[in-house]
Homo-oligomer: A and B are copies of this chain.
Amino acid sequence: MDSSLTITACSVVDLRFPTSEEAHGSDAMHTDPDYSAAYVKLSTSCDGLAGYGLTFTLGRGTDLCVSAIELLAEKVVGKTLASLVETFGQTAQSIANDSQLRWLGPEKGVVHLAAAALLNAIWDLWARVENKPLWKLVSDLPAEQLVDCVDFRYLGNALTKQDALEILATNDSTRADRESELHTTGFPAYTTSAGWLGYSDDLIRKLCRQALSEGWEHFKLKVGADLEDDIRRAAIIREEIGPNRKLMVDANQRWEVAEAIEWVRQLSRFDLWWVEEPTSPDDVVGHAEIAKAIAPIGVATGEQCQNRVIFKQLLQLNAISFCQIDSCRLGSVNEILGVLLMAKKFNVPVCPHAGGVGLCEYVNHLIMIDYIRIGASLDNRVAEYVDHLHSHFVHPVVVRSGHYMPPTNAGYSAEIHQASIEQYSYPQGSEWQLRLAANA
């Protein structure tokens, strides 16, 4: 790496897609999501070379993330890339723990989402400089260097640096085989496209058939608003997919602990593989209680788990059977690596959350890293895939026969077409100007 390469500027865009108009992504708690992103560009001293990163949001409040990124940018602008990634774990900790901003978290909410976007852009830049896809950059790192990218703070009673090195060492001799396997067959995905809460029964049936014809093996239904509706819709999906494919349900935090246990009991006749987000994402103890009561149906959660400390406890209390990291809620690859390593140590499969905008593009890299270096298994692993908004990306995710294929472009795949930015930036983009004029 050219050690003088310097980050010279950080610009941030508020991008919003009007997805709520078609009920895409609707669930029991999020009735009108406009999939959005605070989108970062880090310019550098090398003309034409930039790093791109984003954090995912649901519309209102994207501007808060934009402002928070602008505040955090002063920790990055003027620094060399080499100095930032040399002790990348410490860099991540310092960005996520500004001495004044941390009161607004710490390491959660708007400020942590902002830290993630900024760190994502640094990872992208690093991978571009090395001319590798992000997953390949990380997969090729020497073990010590990979571990130095992790922020281990508060993980000491669950995962030490020595534990991490041992996990990497155990997988070392076989990692080349897994990498070639990924090039051939990819990493298994599942689709949520069929089961959104706002969809009609007929649309669910139609989307199921379409997904079956495309080779999907796992199907997820949004539940939790009304039990009779859920039973009817689960019956439709189970009828369409037959007895052998996997059916998961997702309550999006709708239930109290006891309610979750009872509701799942009512739906268990449809042979559920997992129950996702049964209650508050903050309730580790509650998830443990639910997990014990509904076994062998597994509990899955993570898309709104704020940081590694919550994941640590979910693992310590055997509260989850599936660990659903979110690529933008956790503080970028630095924090994600720590969670992947903990999940491996506790023998819990990682099945990332995706969808939204850009999450599939990110997750595509993370599952490759996990399979090659850390989790090193496909057992009970499946990554979410939603077929929305990929066309806005310069290097959109590639899914073949229900499998994520390894990205081949250099970087972390978050770069968005300039035309999309001009259309969807909020409120000045052309799509929003049209809507604002129509409502005026």
Please, how many residues of chain A have a CB less than 8 angstroms from a CB on the other chain?
62
User: Which residues in window 92-129 of A have CB below 8 A to B?
Assistant: 97-113
Q: How far is the CB of A23 from chain B (nearest CB, A)?
A: 12
A259 is contacted by which of B29, B156, B284 (Cβ under 8 Å)?
B156
Assuming the A-B contacts A104-B113, A108-B108, A306-B108, are A286 and B154 also in contact, with contact meaning beta carbons closer than 8 angstroms in the complex? yes
Q: How far is the CB of A88 from chain B (nearest CB, A)?
A: 20
Query: Taking beta carbons and an 8 Å cutoff, which residues of A are in contact with B?
Result: 29-34, 56-61, 63-65, 67-68, 71, 97-113, 153-154, 156-157, 253, 256-259, 279-286, 289, 304, 306-307, 309-310, 312-313, 316-317
A30 is contacted by which of B99, B156, B259, B317 (Cβ under 8 Å)?
B99
Closest to A57 in B: B103
Assuming the A-B contacts A154-B283, A283-B313, A285-B313, are A110 and B100 also in contact, with contact meaning beta carbons closer than 8 angstroms in the complex? no
**B29 touching A157, Cβ below 8 Å:** no
**B104 touching A157, Cβ below 8 Å:** no
Collect the chain B residues with CB atoms within 8 Å of residue A59's CB. 100
Give Cα distance in the complex from A284 to B280, angstroms.
15
Assuming the A-B contacts A106-B281, A256-B154, A289-B157, are A61 and B71 also in contact, with contact meaning beta carbons closer than 8 angstroms in the complex? yes
Collect the chain B residues with CB atoms within 8 Å of residue A98's CB. 60
Assuming the A-B contacts A154-B286, A284-B313, A286-B154, are A104 and B257 also in contact, with contact meaning beta carbons closer than 8 angstroms in the complex? no
Centre residue among A65, A99, A104, A312 by max chain B CB count within 10 A? A104
Closest to A68 in B: B64
Q: How far is the CB of A412 from chain B (nearest CB, A)?
A: 21
Shortest beta-carbon contacts, A-B, top 4:
A109-B109, A156-B256, A110-B110, A60-B100
Give Cα distance in the complex from A29 to B107, angstroms.
13
Interface contacts beyond A154-B286, A156-B258: sample of 14 additional A-B pairs, CB < 8 Å, sorted by A: A29-B99, A30-B103, A34-B100, A58-B100, A59-B100, A61-B101, A61-B103, A109-B111, A154-B279, A154-B282, A156-B259, A157-B257, A157-B258, A285-B313
Closest to A329 in B: B103
Collect the chain B residues with CB atoms within 8 Å of residue A286's CB. 154, 157, 309, 313
Q: How far is the CB of A255 from chain B (nearest CB, A)?
A: 9
Assuming the A-B contacts A108-B109, A310-B282, are A99 and B31 also in contact, with contact meaning beta carbons closer than 8 angstroms in the complex? yes
Ordered by A's residue number, 8 sampled pairs between the chains whose C-beta atoms are within 8 Å are A58-B100, A63-B67, A103-B304, A154-B279, A157-B289, A280-B309, A282-B309, A283-B309
Q: How far is the CB of A306 from chain B (nearest CB, A)?
A: 7
**A284 touching B281, Cβ below 8 Å:** no
Give Cα distance in the complex from A59 to B97, angstroms.
14
**B61 touching A104, Cβ below 8 Å:** yes
Collect the chain B residues with CB atoms within 8 Å of residue A156's CB. 256-259
A280 is contacted by which of B29, B112, B154 (Cβ under 8 Å)?
B154
Give Cα distance in the complex from A34 to B98, angstroms.
13
A109 is contacted by which of B112, B258, B279, B312 (Cβ under 8 Å)?
B112
